Amino acid sequence: MKKFLPFYSVIIIGVVSLLITLSSSVAKEVNHKWQSIFNGKDLAGWTAKLKGYPLGEDPKSTFRVENGLLRVSYDNYKSFDKDFGHIYYHQELSHYRLRFDYRFRERKVKVGPKRNSGVMVHSQPPETMTLNQKFPISIESQLLGGMTKGKKRPTGNICTPGTDVNIDGKRVKKHCINSTSKTYYGDQWVHFEVEVRGDDVIRHYVNGEQVFELTKPVYANKDKKNAATKSIEGDALEITKGYIALQAESHDIDFRNIELMELDHKHK
């Protein structure tokens, strides 16, 4: 004969389970902590995608770890033929803050963009990038270094490969848009932070100062015949989540202190 718990016992067990679930949920929401996502020893948790190579292949060691730094290096290149690259963090994200320090180093290859790099946010999944695709569909938090003393060249800008954004409530289709940051010259370390809250708002901070804000990022191209956009699910244009990827764009650059804080979805 089967034995059943008394009705009041079932209710108590149910209530206790619900409280435990709610408690865990609340703890996750309010216990915001910075966590390192680069261990300074190897590229565990990161995967390279270089133009012209399958996911995970980096035969010229463009991305490497040296002296505790995540480095983009071009000493194994004789030239740069639009060989753009990205290294993806493994976790898909929606609401978060990402921060790191970066510095440009002496250039190894004398062609291609100068003192130019970036971090892609809300990127398409790395496995959906085509073999010769230059940039993932994403919003690029662009990192630039000063070239000529006295000539302004802000950092913390945005570029929009396959996307559009709103600025001051208006849809902007221009590919790259400058921030209000200062210009940083030479090989000095610069602290950068990007705050991403789904499709509500994305903010850039340089050395602790907010320099850019955009809202309502959307996909600019929903053509399913385009292999690069086949990863876009459904008909919605809004971009609510994606991956982060550090960029290789022909100039040697170092990254350190790469940290992530996941956020709840309540506050903007």
Smallest Cα–Cα separation from 179: which of 207, 137, 199? 207
Could you tell me which residues come within 8 angstroms of residue 221 by beta carbon, excluding any fewer than 6 positions away?
137, 162, 229
Residue 81's pLDDT band, with cuts at 50, 70 and 90, is: confident
**Cα(156)–Cα(180) distance, integer angstroms:** 8
Residue 256's pLDDT is 98
The domains of the chain are located at 1-31, 34-262
Helix (H, G, I), strand (E, B) or coil at 126: helix
Helix (H) or strand (E) holding 19: helix 7-30
Q: Is the pLDDT of residue 7 over 60?
A: no
pLDDT, one tens digit per residue, over 201-225 is 999 999 999 999 999 999 986 555 5
Q: How far out from the chain centre does Cα 174 lie?
A: 20
Q: Radius of gyration (Cα) for the chain, nearest Å? A: 21
Helix (H, G, I), strand (E, B) or coil at 140: strand
According to DSSP, the residues that pair with 87 across neighbouring strands are 48, 246
Phi, psi of 8 (to 5 degrees): -65, -30
Residue 200's pLDDT band, with cuts at 50, 70 and 90, is: very high
Class of the 34-262 domain? Answer: mainly beta
DSSP class per residue in 156-175: SEEE-TTEEEEETTEEE--S
pLDDT, one tens digit per residue, over 120-159 is 999 999 999 999 999 999 999 999 999 988 899 999 999 9
